[in-house]
Amino acid sequence: MLQQLRIESFVNDIYYMLGSSGDTLVLNIIDEDFSSSGVQIKIQCINIEYIDGITGEREICPNIIGLGTTKMRIFSEDTTLYGQQVTPANISRVKVELYERN
């Protein structure tokens, strides 16, 4: 299953992508600001988790464009994004593929 990501598809910063065998990818937007010793730190990224539809086992997936696992891949037609984290700013140019079971 191939899905073009859109920020509008996220509900309460979470998006679920369901595969035909019950497998699920959960994408979660992280948008946090921290301050430590007078230094402001901003974290903006998308976390990705795979949930096996048969066993319920969970696996953290890479959120780097151009990488994947045996279960999924994240990529873009814009190859200049390869090697970057998926963020709310670039998500509209990113696609996720959840592989179907054989």
Task: Give the global pTM.
Answer: 0.88
Q: What per-residue confidence (pLDDT) applies to 13? A: 95
Provide the token pair at 77.
């037609």
What percent helix, strand, coil does the chain show, rounded to 5?
A: 10, 50, 40
CA distances for 43 relative to 77, 84, 85, 87, 98, angstroms: 25, 14, 11, 9, 26
Q: Is residue 36 very low, low, confident or very high in pLDDT (cuts 50, 70, 90)? A: confident
The 3-state DSSP class for residue 37 equals: coil
The domain spans of the chain are 2-98
2-6 mean pLDDT:
93
